[in-house]
Structure 1
Amino acid sequence: MSQRWTASQVPDQRGRRIIITGGSGGLGLETALELAARGAELILAVRNAGKGEQAAKQIRQRYPQSQVEVMPLDLADLDSVKAFADMYRSRYNSLDILINNAGVMIPPYQKTRQGFELQFGSNHLGHFALTGHLLPLLLRTPRARVVTLSSIAARTGYIYFNNLDGRIGYSAGKFYCQSKLANLLFAKELQKRLTEAGADTISVGCHPGIANTNLVSRGSGKQAIWPVRFAWGLFSQTAAFGALPTLYAAAEPSLIGGEFIGPDGPGSRKGYPHHDISFEHKVNYETAAKLWNISEQLTGVYYEFAAAHPTQE
């Protein structure tokens, strides 16, 4: 694996259809721009339609031949997640890559539409439900991928099975770490189940290190105050650099599934993408299976791997 992998090494993506959640800014937009440059057909799944259209306009201006569509998705509302999946399936019969990118970080205590704690509900359960709804299309599409973004915060994360909704105590930081560990465990458990089903769809996890994005707005969608932006900028890498692990996870042909991609620098904070094994101690498959079963029960989305062999078109 190259230690200096850059966006210039993303292979040709013509003919590939890619969904990016949260594709209207930050890492999602940087990822979208690079994939559009390689000819991918993009669907930006976004909560804020205005921001989504601005992002699509920016992509089209830079790459006039690009195919970009904006579709509404609120990961904090399972009805919206299902409506998005239904709309997508009514328009398209294949899905090459699903990039579970969107996230909220350390907001004040809030709940999703269905009553889940906002970070666990949006960052994990929303993406869990979305992937489950779209799984039949992924399984039918040859060599499809699911890319799920975690964070270096997963290193200090624990799954509070007795307090998933924060009812008996809430710490914004701890619950963010929980949601990001859940993303990592989901990516690993999904690959395990895909392998057992004999599918050629793969699941790859990744994290951006510390990237300078607007996640520090604490879920408001507004720009963070300038002292926070200034301090964050001092010890983070650019969003373009932070998007490299996502691009590697989505497009690197050598990946076989189950990898966790992150920056290769000290503490995984900055650098070029590589297979980051420093998180392996957090991967407990008993915990992952328990989380999976609870996630199915909470969302009402039960995964079906029966159609695990893609149809060649």
Structure 2
Amino acid sequence: MSNIYTLRMHLHREMFGGQWSSSTRLDGKTVLITGANTGIGKETTRDLAKRGARIIMACRDLEKAERAQKEIMEDSGNQNIVIKKLDLSDTKSIREFAELINNEERALHILINNAGIMMCPYSKTADGFEMQFGVNHLGHFLLTFLLIDLLKRSAPSRIINLSSMAHGWGTIALDDINSERNYHSRRAYGQSKLANILFTRSLAKKLKDTGVTAYAVHPGIVRTELKRHMNLGLLIMWKIVRPFTKTSVQGAQTTIYCAVQPELDKESGGYYSNCRPSRCTRAARDDEMAEKLWELSCKMLGIVWD
């Protein structure tokens, strides 16, 4: 009975915790959101567009992005929403995208690394990285690196990395980062989400006194397309907990909070859930591992980022 009670209390916090609202405007601010055409990314785009921000939707599926753009423009009355092609599973696409942004944009105030892939069958990116680690961590690591000077020039600015409570499912396997010896989709997803938090902690240290702050976010258990790769057992469990899960609108709230809450200018490197600071696992607070992950990420991507 105690386990059932604990589960019910956890699901109640997931569903109803972190009620928050704000009238903060973002007029004159430029926001870049990856995976902005669906789920949490789409609802984040909608909210920030209503606040007057210029939005850059960075998406792989341009057709779906155009439908979302039209819907959000009509809903928000904000016509300053543009779409740019970005495939986070291909470093060539990331570099071309970043070059375009750096050439065309005078400022970037908020970077939301939202896009992700969850528990997919084993596959590799165009550059040979395990797909979940490559898209969820390395793709956003490289994108942030390529846009960091623009973010610094635009300070105060913010970087928001979408992580998950699933970071507790994995460890950083430095000797088998691409899961080539033993692939387990859930552990690989957990590794990528743990990497998101460690990346955020490192960013906060390296960007100290630059005016650029970083935040890691757990959106909650959300009804999104990410579940499409779940196996039968997980899908059965999903049906049981689904009544207690969040909508995409609810799931976007902590991202929006970290993007607009004025007081967060004084904070950086934290992990947030339900629109407030939250506690992550001990592994996610391991600064020595965070530095090793940083060095390995740079090596894998062929970049130097001190």
TM-score of the aligned structures, taking structure 1 as reference length: 0.87
1:84-163 to 2 correspondences below 5 Å: 84-163=97-176
1:206 pairs with 2:208: no
How far off its partner does 1:218 sit? 2.6
| Match of residue 14 from structure 2 | none
Summarize deviations over 1:144-168 as a string: whole Å, max 9, x none.
1100010000123200111111211
| Match of residue 40 from structure 1 | 53
| Match of residue 74 from structure 2 | 61
Secondary structure in structure 1 of the residue aligned to 2:305 = coil
More moved, 73-82 vs 63-72: 63-72
| Match of residue 243 from structure 2 | 234
| Match of residue 259 from structure 1 | 270
Secondary structure in structure 1 of the residue aligned to 2:129 = coil
> Structure 1: how far apart are the matches of 2:160 and 2:76?
24
1:298 pairs with 2:306: no
1:159-308 to 2 correspondences below 5 Å: 159-195=172-208, 198-218=209-229, 230-231=239-240, 233-255=242-264, 256-263=267-274, 273-279=275-281, 282-303=284-305
CA contact (8 A) 1:100 1:127 kept: yes
Amino acid at match of 1:238: T
CA contact (8 A) 2:171 2:283 kept: no
How far off its partner does 1:4 sit? 5.0
| Match of residue 267 from structure 1 | none
> Structure 2: how far apart are the matches of 1:147 and 1:287?
20
Percent identity between the aligned chains? 36
CA contact (8 A) 1:210 1:242 kept: yes
Consecutive unaligned residues of structure 2, counting only runs of 5 or more, are 1-16
Note closer, same or farther for the CA distance 1:64–1:99 as it changes in structure 2 (3 Å cut): same
> Structure 2: how far apart are the matches of 1:230 and 1:26?
19
Secondary structure in structure 2 of the residue aligned to 1:288 = helix
CA contact (8 A) 2:200 2:216 kept: yes
> Structure 2: how far apart are the matches of 1:130 and 1:116?
16
Q: Which structure has more helix as a fraction of its residues?
A: 2
Summarize deviations over 1:243-276 as a string: whole Å, max 9, x none.
111011111111121221102xxxxxxxxx1110
Secondary structure in structure 1 of the residue aligned to 2:83 = strand
Summarize deviations over 1:90-135 as a string: whole Å, max 9, x none.
1112100000000000000000000000000000000000000000
CA contact (8 A) 2:37 2:68 kept: yes
Amino acid at match of 1:107: C
> Structure 2: how far apart are the matches of 1:231 and 1:300?
44
How far off its partner does 1:230 sit? 4.5
Summarize deviations over 1:151-187 as a string: whole Å, max 9, x none.
0001232001111112111000000000000001001
More moved, 33-42 vs 58-67: 58-67
Secondary structure in structure 2 of the residue aligned to 1:79 = helix
